[in-house]
Structure formats: structure tokens, C-alpha cells
Structure 1
């Protein structure tokens, strides 16, 4: 009743202790989460960095001052703050700022593809293993242990070596090596909820295992997986940059940050800006995802919320 007397989407409506609908309740929970996140200044800084990355990628044609692939040997290796090239140029005279801006698209492309593949697969593996237990749990977890036994970059290098260099194969290799931690997290969450009373009630109502897993167990694991995804973004970006640095990821002349560091490493002592600028971009974006992940953990983790 009180929710109907207030203006929809107002603060009082969102914080109504007796929501009139499921949508109002979910929006209220999201608003409370935002308030908690906003009280964490480091998380806000991380969110601002991530939003800036997305905005930079979306507005790359507007923000870039030059064609990122255009070469000009007359202006090669210009230092920062040069006329028309405020971050300098590389060994082919290409504007570093413009390449960084378009490189944000490549980074976001890799992050997006890995995010919609590895966590989903890991979530399914972990939920199935934790719910059924027995030999299914043993088989899936031993497979997970095999993937976890190898360092992620080394395993990604092996997959890319088998598949061939290229950004598509690099994304596939990163996804194939990134799913085991999500499976572990989802399994641990599933073990805590599979014996809950509401799961038993749903089972007594005749719901099958598939419906229970997808509608009742998996949603309980999603917040923990989201937190893990955000915290893993820095590692994913570094792995993609490492593959590009070794020439196994994005290929020239694509403006990928790891590839830019690789091409600029031979000028590091004299023309330091060629490799330093993309290195700083990787550092700032990785820091942003880590700060945002820490903040989301405080918001989404029910154990921290209860403290």
C-alpha cells in the first residue's frame, strides 16, 4: 500500500519496506547495492575507469586525432607533447594516443567475449558437479584440477600454438583456460544450497533436476561468479597483452596494447614513450577492474553484507 502511494522510481519507492511487486523489490535491492558501492571511494574510482574504457571504445572515432594505422616516417618517434601528437608517435610515425583509443576496442572485445564464455561454462560445470555429487563431481573436479595445474599464460600459449596466432584464437585460448576458477566457486556455492529447504520443497513439487539447477541453484551462484569475473578481468587483460606481446594474439598493424609494447620495447631506453604509454593503459585498466571487483564483493557477498 505504501509503495503505491509514492512516486515510482523515487527514493521512497525504491526503499519501501513492503514492495508491491517483484520488480520493485529487485530495483530496491539494486539501489541499496549502489548506495553501498558509492560509499566506497576506491570502488567508485574503479567504476569510473571501467566506464571511461567503455566510453573510449565507443567514441574512438571522435576521440582519436589520427588514423591509428596511418604511417608517416617524417614524424616517427616524436616525443610526448609534440604538436599534433600529445602522446608522441611510434617507429612508423603512427599517433600513440589514437592507437591507444582504438586499442581500447580490442581490449573490450577480448574482455566481452571471455566474459560471456568462460564464466558461463564454469558456472554450469560447478553447478552440475555440486548438485549431483558422486562420480559426476569427481570427474568434473578432476578435469578442473588438470586445467588449474598449469599456469594460465602457459596453457593459453599451448592452445594458441595449436590453433594458430590471431585475436580470435587468443580469445578462445583465454576462455579455455579461464573457466576452472568459476567452476570451483559455483560448486562451493551449490554445496551450501543444495540441501536447503526450498530446494527440497521444489523437488517435492515435481520439478526436475534441470529446472532446479537453472531456476533455483544457478541464480544463487551468480553473485559470487560476477565478483570473481570482475576480479579476473585484470588477469584476462594481462594474458591477452602477453599473447600480443609474444606475437600470438592480435597481429600487426592492429592497435592492441600488448602488441604496441612489443614493438616499442627496442626503443625503451631512448624513446621510452612508445612502450610506456600502452603499459600505463594496461596498468590503469587492470587497476580499475580490481578496485571495482573489491567493491562488488562487498556489495554482492552475503557474508560481507551481514557484517
Structure 2
């Protein structure tokens, strides 16, 4: 079993020990921020609820029972029922699969693209840098939701279209961040040494520049997840994201907004889920920024 003394040794005996020691010190620094730990706990809880939704659900998310419609929260229905008699708790669980799944899909699409574009532009410079950054500026000139609406309007509304539209509008900040980090290190001694050893530009970018940019990118991605959640929910609310009867949180609010005054639990509970997910990722991102961003140290 690995001990804390082995991890915190000031004279590591191997690269493996040094790497694990750095990770452990980062965890200790992260743990000192209680809000960040709370954000991590809530985010992990929501992800686990989404993964194990079939085990945690008490009803079929699509089963309708009009005789039991708009029932308040009770022992039989923890979060009540909606206008078609469907269990809101179950639909929240399955909605987490859709909403958080969209967030994960967008991050997996845009983070590598933004990292590659930014590193290539920053390392190459010249005409390639100017072209890539002008394309990035064009995307940054439009509000994300408005641009996503335009892309979805050109495609068929649905989960896949929403993911593609959000991904097309979310990559520019990552490219800008990666370019700034690359400009900072491209003339460093270790990059010059690798270049003199005969490494190709792409090898230098992929093996030596990009890994240096990843910590800052992780912080930005975590902080950006809340806006991705809000954009996905906004598209669903406007009818351009997940389509009924899929239990996506934004779609659930859209179909239940007329019950806000009398049967408040139907639209409010999905709103609370969106709020908690966004807040947890913001708190987690703040904690990671304190640990991973060298400018914060």
C-alpha cells in the first residue's frame, strides 16, 4: 500500500514516485477548498445517478397514467407526477443521462479540436496563425446560444443536432487558450532542445507543447461545462434540442411551464437539477483552477 510519506518524499527514487507525489500534493491542495470538494461530490453524484438510472428509477420514464396526473410529491412519487402521470423522479434520472451525456459528448469533441488548433496556430505562427485565429474570431463574434440556434435551425432538431451545434460554437475559447499557452513556451529551452534533436513540428506540438497546455484546458473545460449545460437546456426549452417524450431537463421545463403557479414541482424540479449541475461544475472548476493554473499559485 502506498503511504503518504512515500508520496510526499522530497527525494523521489523514480519518475513514477515523483509523478504520484505531484498528484497527491495537488489533491491535498484541492481538498483544502471545501466548496470545490462539494462541487466534486455533487458532480460525481449526478454522474453516478445518470449511469445507474435503471437501478435507481422507481417507474418507467415513459409510462403514462392519466388518472394519476399532476400528483404532488409523495412516498409513491418522490418528486410528484407530470401532466401525463409520469414519475418526475424517474424522468430526472433519465434526463441526467441525456443532458450530462450531451455535455460529455461536446467536451470530447471540442477540447481536442481547440487544443490542436490553438497549439498549431501558436507554434507555427505566420499565415497559419492569422488564418486560424481569424476563423476563431468569427465564431467568437456571435453569442453561443444564438449561433447554436442558427446551426440547429439548419439541421433537424434532436440530441445529435444539439451536440453538433454546441460543439461548433464551443471550441474557439479552447483554441485561444491553447494558443496563448503555446506562445508562452514555444521558445523555451526544452522546445529548442527537442527541435535541435530533429523532431518534426507535429511531433513537437503533439508530444511536448500540447501536454503543457492540458492543465489550463482542463480548468477551462470544467468551468465551461455549466454554460454547455445551460445551452443544451436552452435548446431543449426552445424545442430545438431533445424532443418529447425524451426526458431532457430543458424539454421537461418547456412542456410543464404552464403549471408553474399551481403544480410547481413539475417545472421547478428540472430547473433545480440544471442549477445544481451548473453550480457543481463551477465550484469544481474554481477548485481546479487554484490547483492547476500556475498563475494562481
TM-score band, normalised by shorter chain: over 0.9
For structure 1, which runs of at least 5 residues remain unmatched after alignment?
Answer: 1-7
Q: Does 1:23 align with 2:16?
A: yes
Distance 1:224 1:83 in 2: 46
Deviation string 1:15-35 (CA, Å, 9 cap, x unpaired) is 122222222221111111110
Other-structure match for 1:5: none
Determine if the alignment matches structure 1 residue 132 to structure 2 residue 134.
Answer: no
Partner of 1:101: 93
> Offset at 1:59?
1.5
Match of 2:204? 212
The one of 118, 122, 134 equivalent to 2:114 is: 122
Distance 1:54 1:261 in 2: 21
Tell me the SS of whatever aligns to 1:77. Answer: coil
Give how far 1:79 is off: 1.3
Quote how far apart the aligned CAs of 1:111 are: 1.3
TM-score computed with the length of structure 2 as normaliser: 0.98
The equivalent residue for 1:302 is 294
2:35 paired with 1:42: yes
My pick for the range that moved more, 19-28 or 105-114, is 19-28
Q: Normalized against structure 1, the TM-score is what? A: 0.95
| Pair 1:71 & 2:64 matched | yes
**1:143 aligned partner:** 135
Q: Quote the RMSD (CA, aligned, Å).
A: 0.9
1:262 equivalent in alignment to 2:254: yes
Q: Distance in 2 between matches of 1:27 and 1:159?
A: 44
The answer on whether the counterparts of 2:100 and 2:229 sit within 8 Å (CA) in structure 1 is no
Measure, in 2, the Cα distance between the counterparts of 1:292 and 1:16: 28
Distance 1:26 1:162 in 2: 48
> Which string of whole-angstrom CA distances, capped at 9 and with x for unpartnered residues, describes residues 220-242 of structure 1?
10001000000000000000001
CA distance in 2 between partners of 1:263 and 1:182 (Å): 34
1:172 aligns with 2:184: no
**SS at 2:241 equivalent:** coil
1:239 and 2:231 are equivalent in the alignment: yes
Stretches of structure 2 lacking an aligned partner (at least 5 in a row): none
**In the TM superposition, what is the alpha-carbon distance from 1:178 to its structure 2 partner?**
0.2
Q: Distance in 1 between matches of 2:126 and 2:69?
A: 63
Partner SS for 1:117: helix
Instruction: For residue 58 of structure 1, report the CA deviation from its aligned partner.
Output: 1.6
CA contact (8 A) 2:43 2:280 kept: yes
Q: Deviations over 1:121-179 (max 9, x none)?
A: 01111001111111111111110000000000011111111121110111011111000
User: What secondary structure, in the 3-state scheme, does the structure 1 residue paired with 2:11 have?
Assistant: coil
Measured against aligned partners, the alpha-carbon deviations of 1:62-87 in whole angstroms (never above 9, x if no partner) come to: 2111111100001100112x240121
Is the aligned partner of 1:226 residue 2:218? yes
Report the more deviating stretch, 19-28 or 94-103.
19-28
3-state DSSP class of the match of 1:150? coil
Aligned residues: 297
Structure 1 position 95, deviation (Å): 0.5
